[in-house]
Amino acid sequence: MLSRIGESLYWMTRNLERADGTMRWRGFKDGDLLTVVGQKGSTGDLAPKRLFGGDRVQLVQDIRAGARAAFGIGIGLMICSPFVLVGGILAGLLGRRR
């Protein structure tokens, strides 16, 4: 939920109700360093595509870390794919017939 309250920009991810009945809120508050990636509208409003709690350098580092993780997972899946292919072919050829 993104809302404008006065001149402050608040973004609350969601409220969390705990087992003891209390509510916990996660998100940004006044004074937090916030990087907004998006477009500026013709009326001066922001159309954010991404909100990040930190500066631009930290945002770039976070994106690069995610890209490295996705690359490693992709390499792992490419290594495993021939085994899945051979297993599927063998199961199709040698499997039980009804």
Higher-confidence position of 60 and 25: 60
Instruction: List Cβ neighbours of 17 (8 Å cut-off, separation of 6 or more).
Output: 23, 24
What amino acid occupies position 8? Answer: S
Does residue 77 belong to any structural domain of this protein? Answer: no
| Total domain count, the chain | 1
Alpha carbon distance 59, 63 (integer Å): 6
Task: Identify the pLDDT of residue 65.
Answer: 94
Task: Identify the pLDDT of residue 46.
Answer: 80
Q: Are strands 35-40 and 46-52 parallel, antiparallel or unpaired?
A: antiparallel
pLDDT band for position 26 (cuts 50, 70, 90): low
Q: Cβ distance 3 to 46 under 8 Å?
A: no
Task: List the structure tokens of 87.
Answer: 């297993």
The average confidence (pLDDT) of the chain is 80
Does residue 63 belong to any structural domain of this protein? Answer: no
Does residue 85 belong to any structural domain of this protein? Answer: no
Q: What is the extent of the structural domain holding 37?
A: 2-54
